[in-house]
Structure 1
Amino acid sequence: MAEASGYDLLLKGGRVMCPASGIDGVRDVAVKGGKVAAVEEAILPSAAREVIDVTGKLVLPGLIDTHGHVYQYVTGRFGLDPDMVGVRSGVTTVVDQGGPSCMTLPGFRKFIAEPAKTNVLCFLSAYLVGGLEGHFYPNLYSPDGVDIEATTRSALANKDIVRGIKGHAEIGGFARWGIKVMEMAAEISRRADLPLYVHFGQLWGLPESGKNGEDADTILERVIPLLKEGDVLAHPFTRHPGGFVNAKGELHHVLQAAIDRGLKVDVGHGSHFSYRLAKMALAAGVVPHTLGADMHGYNTQVPENPAPAGTPEEHHDDENHPFKGQARFSLTQAMSSMMTLGLPLDYVVKMVTTHPAKMLGMEDSLGSLAVGRAADVSVLNDVRGRFVLRDNEDHRVLAERLLQPAFCLRNGERFDADSPILPQAIAA
């Protein structure tokens, strides 16, 4: 047994990839007091109370999911259990995108962020109602449902967990109210000095009167001038109208200039992912900066997850909603998709570690295995073979490499990857 001055835990023999530290090779990682205590080529097993052999596995800084929906119960069927999406899926930090608002943030803090074992952050909704089931109640998302002053105050007073603002630039909203709501969201973002994360692609559907003269293919070009450096364009690979690819099948010409002036792109996998469109965008040079899984209760099959008591009967029908997608997926599955599309592993690791840490303005605490940092570590199985991956168009691709979570450490505490929503590998 190690002496009192020894390490609490030793991860031995894994391939450590830490872009922030410039490490990529077989290393041992020692943990003491919930912090990274050493990263060295060889550490004696006798120096630690517990040793875990991770030979053949990837040892990464704790994965950061930039797009989650974890305001359970309050956001209806959208909200998943934060630890099911987080530590039980090998992910140590989850960013809820637009679940809480200035009105509901206190509840999010007390009942979601504080009890969770996962590090839970959020991008505050520009709307007073937050991320309720907007496809059922789109009128809640009008300009009258935005309070610039109140939302700015809330964001500034809660920057420990509020790391950005969430807005929606989609045809259903534009057809009803034009660009007004997006202008208001951009103003909140500027006043709070936080990044604005913008949803592109149809979300709430069209009003009965039609498109009211709006053209989904003009949305991107009209919204981008509102945005500032560090703001985030989401869902680049969506098949829905209003995304990065227009109705003619062409990539919008304004995208490269937007990226050149400092706007970022987040995959936002979920119900807005098409291999067909991803190949087109990547071929044109649009490479996403960060990777969010975008799991929620409508695109993720949660075992034994009936509609909560009191849910209106029309909300029980899971077959006729606009967000239906894969029954199961995860952040690591999304990483596998990116590699299948041709992005190298070292870049994909940056998409879930150093890049989101910078997006969140938290490079000093997240995304690194530097000695002295909180011991947030994700350990993945790197499985080789032939596997079938599919997207929301049911297009299937063959992958020769599949990343699957084994376990993670959050502040040095171990959590096995036992989430019931983790996808099962399908051999080709």
Structure 2
Amino acid sequence: MLLTGGRVIDPTVGRDGVFDVLVAEGRIAAIGQDMGSGVSADTQRIDCRGKLVLPGLIDTHAHVYQGVTGRFGLNPDMCGVHSGVTTLVDQGGPSCITLPGFRQYVAEPSKTRVLAYLSAYLVGGLEGHYYPELYRPECLDVEATVRSARENRDLVRGLKAHAEIGGFARWGVDVMRIATRIGREADLPVYIHFGQLWPRPEEGGLAVNPDSIFNQVVEMLKPGDILAHPFSRHPGGFVELDGKLHPLVHEAIRRGLKIDVGHGSHFSYQTARIVLDAGVIPDTLGADMHGYNTQVAAPAGTPDSHPDEEDHIFKGKTRFSLVSAMTSMLALGLPLAHVVAMVTRNAARMVGMEGELGTLKVGGVADISVLDDARGRWVLRDNEGTEVVTRQMLTPAFCLRAGERFDATAAILPQPQEAASAVHA
């Protein structure tokens, strides 16, 4: 198979130009210019002119423990190869108890490569952490979780925990202290959710200043740990109640902490503008799609609602993907080269597979994402109702996963909406 004439961008090796990519037996056989005359007559040629040819995209924030996490978990190949994404990192779906099932029923049968950031909690991501009392300090087991992580290194690439108002009002910092201990003992990065997830207790509970959470958590973390949801509209994260960047964010970056966008339904263009204007540029980008914030039918018997769909105008019923999240980053002014790095080289580094994933190299696995790259005017809208106009629209065309082609046919993919003349950038 020869991909011809596409714009190849590979931040790992600094490549950005028009090249052909030859794939044979699931591997990248050659990368060069005008290679058509040098390949055999039976080589399948795919015209990629006007398209971006990228290392296989890595979604750093997926929820794909389908079935076990109830309505929350989506089909991995719908979010993965049929959305132009070759690798998914499930954030906190499996736990030390349920990881064997995740391996057998999700990771192994999926065409998409599926990795996991193991939940710090024994129950994992059941119904998207719908029942807060399942996440109290007594529901963590350091020894069992560390052992599970150590003995499943091929699959487990980090740990997932939450730092938010509802949890702090119930247990203070106790759960976070246990979660960060697991990360240290397992020698794995910890991915921290910021922004309110659970409602405050109706009776009793601790008084919590949302602006105090960030600094308390950062003091517990080690270099390489990941701060998620910098662009969340919820309190208790990167932006304080007064609308200004939390004063410890730059110090956290100096300490070696990383930042993942974790787009999701709580993504806010207004918050993003505050963070970016303060000079804070996220390292990686995850879509954070799940069954409560996408247009996917709910399994019978699951809860009717979820915090992610209760407090904003679209009730969570949106369509988005990792590639549409990339378009959002471009609309915010991030350079294409950095946006590509977020979902390739930097994401591979986050899962400890830099040089193996997130790059196109001769002899390496043929994980390749091909995107349409259009120019025009399209309106983008977040779940606060804020609209922006982008003049560059990325959409997935197809991907190769270990050399096997998958077209971007997922029903969940958004349909671009052309901007009316009254909408201003």
TM-score by length of 1: 0.94
In structure 2, the gaps of 5 or more residues are: 420-425
Question: What is residue 200 of structure 2 aligned with on the other side?
Answer: 206
**Per-residue deviation, 1:364:** 3.0
Q: Distance between the aligned counterparts of 2:232 and 2:355, measured in 1? A: 33
Question: What is residue 176 of structure 2 aligned with on the other side?
Answer: 182
The amino acid of 1:209's aligned partner reads E
SS in 2 for 1:182: helix
The amino acid of 2:334's aligned partner reads L
Question: What is residue 85 of structure 1 aligned with on the other side?
Answer: 79
1:27 to 1:138, Cα distance in 2 relative to 1, 3 A: same
**Does 1:108 pair with 2:99?**
no
Q: Distance between the aligned counterparts of 1:135 and 1:229, measured in 2? A: 27
SS in 2 for 1:373: coil
The amino acid of 1:214's aligned partner reads V
In structure 1, the gaps of 5 or more residues are: 1-8
| Total equivalences in the alignment | 414
The amino acid of 2:7's aligned partner reads R
Q: Distance between the aligned counterparts of 1:96 and 1:143, measured in 2? A: 23
Question: What is residue 30 of structure 1 aligned with on the other side?
Answer: 22
8 Å contact 2:160–2:191 — kept in the other structure?
A: yes
Question: What is residue 384 of structure 1 aligned with on the other side?
Answer: 375
**Does 1:332 pair with 2:317?**
no
Choose the corresponding residue for 1:191, options 180, 185, 210.
185
SS in 1 for 2:299: coil
TM-score by length of 2: 0.95
**C-alpha deviations, 1:208-259, integer Å up to 9, x for none?**
1265212111000100011111100000010111111111111110000110
Q: Distance between the aligned counterparts of 2:325 and 2:106, measured in 1? A: 24
**Per-residue deviation, 1:272:** 2.3
8 Å contact 2:23–2:29 — kept in the other structure?
A: yes
Question: What is residue 16 of structure 1 aligned with on the other side?
Answer: 8
The amino acid of 1:344's aligned partner reads P
1:372 to 1:135, Cα distance in 2 relative to 1, 3 A: closer
Choose the corresponding residue for 1:316, options 294, 304, 307.
304
Q: Distance between the aligned counterparts of 1:325 and 1:28, measured in 2? A: 41
SS in 2 for 1:25: strand
8 Å contact 2:10–2:360 — kept in the other structure?
A: yes
The amino acid of 2:251's aligned partner reads A
Tell which deviates more after alignment, 44-53 or 180-189.
44-53
8 Å contact 1:326–1:392 — kept in the other structure?
A: no
Choose the corresponding residue for 1:364, options 355, 364, 377.
355
Aligned ranges for residues 233-272 of structure 1 at < 5 Å?
A: 233-272=227-266
Q: Distance between the aligned counterparts of 2:81 and 2:39, measured in 1? A: 27
**Per-residue deviation, 1:317:** 4.4
Q: Distance between the aligned counterparts of 2:265 and 2:180, measured in 1? A: 25
Question: What is residue 289 of structure 1 aligned with on the other side?
Answer: 283
Identity across the alignment (%): 62
SS in 1 for 2:183: helix
**C-alpha deviations, 1:323-345, integer Å up to 9, x for none?**
84351001111111111111000
Q: Distance between the aligned counterparts of 1:165 and 1:96, measured in 2? A: 10
**Per-residue deviation, 1:318:** 6.8
Q: Distance between the aligned counterparts of 2:317 and 2:389, measured in 1? A: 16
**C-alpha deviations, 1:355-394, integer Å up to 9, x for none?**
0111111013100101011000000000110000011211
SS in 2 for 1:156: helix
SS in 2 for 1:64: strand
8 Å contact 1:45–1:51 — kept in the other structure?
A: no
**Per-residue deviation, 1:46:** 6.2
Question: What is residue 33 of structure 2 aligned with on the other side?
Answer: 41
**C-alpha deviations, 1:249-306, integer Å up to 9, x for none?**
111100001101210000000122100010110000111000000000011112xx2x
Question: What is residue 117 of structure 2 aligned with on the other side?
Answer: 123
Tell which deviates more after alignment, 48-57 or 289-298.
48-57
Q: Distance between the aligned counterparts of 1:157 and 1:135, measured in 2? A: 25
Aligned ranges for residues 40-189 of structure 1 at < 5 Å?
A: 40-44=32-36, 47-48=39-40, 49-133=43-127, 136-189=130-183
8 Å contact 2:95–2:119 — kept in the other structure?
A: yes
1:208 to 1:134, Cα distance in 2 relative to 1, 3 A: farther
Q: Distance between the aligned counterparts of 2:28 and 2:219, measured in 1? A: 42
8 Å contact 1:239–1:272 — kept in the other structure?
A: yes
SS in 1 for 2:219: helix
Question: What is residue 267 of structure 2 aligned with on the other side?
Answer: 273
Q: Distance between the aligned counterparts of 1:401 and 1:326, measured in 2? A: 24
